[in-house]
Amino acid sequence: MPITPADLLRMKQKGERIPMVTAYDYSAARIAARAGIPLLLVGDSLGMVMHGHGTTLPVTLDDMVRHAAAVTRGSGDAMVVGDLPFLTYANEADAVTASRRMLAEGSVHCVKLEGGAAIAPIVRRLTELGVPVMGHLGFTPQSQHQIGLRVQAKQAAAAKQLLEDALLLEASGVCAIVLELVPAALAKAVSERLAVPTIGIGAGAGCDGQVQVWHDLLGLTEGKVPRHAGRYAELGEVIAAALGRYAEDVRAGVFPKPEQDAAIDPQELQRALGEG
């Protein structure tokens, strides 16, 4: 059985740290499941790492549903969380429609929404309808044109507001909250005040769990890598080298090897081709 929000709560209560990674397709989900990752995020970051966009904003609900369905087919016992993309939860009706599609068609177990007090009524309505919801505070990528790509809540007033938003989201029914690009001391303080788990990204080690983007974690990101990214492999270089060797072998005529060819009697082949 997949991990549930109740399991996440128990993990926090027992002091178990919660690893989470993004996944965007079936193969990645299968690998993560074998590694024992309990939480998979089908993030709207797929717009950048899978579709080549500069931001998450062009991602559609159809995109999210399609990728989520592939991930959940390979997710094993992991809990799959799916982002609701930009402006698909501007009001309760839209949020209900988007969530229904993510759960019914994408088969996710939970949806994630960005924002604080402004979305609290929407979170409350979704949870009333039985939809598990994960919050997201601090740097919220869907608002980057408004807030800028930088660490959030560095001033006292903003830090106080973030804590208030976190408590309000908890009261509205979220099962966990992602804290992105906020000062480590603030993230730790918020985590200690909340009953539900916090999942950090660029928010220090004081959160109850951590989430990383698949491509950053495995060395598949080209160009500048976020400072908070954990780099556990350089698979981009490994894959490029393997493809290069394959291309060389094809050009040199040494792939495939003769013994890999399917055996066929030369005389039968000639008769079949009308040459004998």
Which residues, at least 6 apart from 243, have a Cβ–Cβ distance to it below 8 Å? none
Query: CA distances (Å), 74 to each of 37, 99, 134, in order?
Result: 12, 21, 21
The full DSSP string for 106-160 is S--SEEE--BSGGGHHHHHHHHHTT--EEEEEES-GGGHHHH-SS----SHHHHH
153 contacts 184 by C-beta, under 8 angstroms: no
**Contact call for residues 243 and 53 (beta carbons, < 8 A):** no
Which residues participate in catalysis according to the annotation? Answer: 180
Round to whole Å and give the CA distance between 225 and 118.
Answer: 31
- Maximum Cα–Cα distance for the chain, whole Å? 89
Annotated binding site for Mg(2+): 44, 83, 114
What's the one-letter identity of residue 123?
V
> How far apart, in whole angstroms, are the C-alpha atoms of residue 198 and residue 170?
11
Contact 177, 134 (CB under 8 A): yes
Contacts of 44 (CB under 8 A, 6+ apart): 56, 59, 64, 83, 85, 86, 141, 142
Question: Known binding site for 3-methyl-2-oxobutanoate: residues?
Answer: 44-45, 83, 112
What is the bridge-based pairing of β-strands 110-112 and 133-138? parallel
User: What tokens does 36 get?
Assistant: 């024992």
- CA 233 to chain centroid, in Å, comes to 18
Sequence ranges of the binding site: 44-45, 83, 112, 114
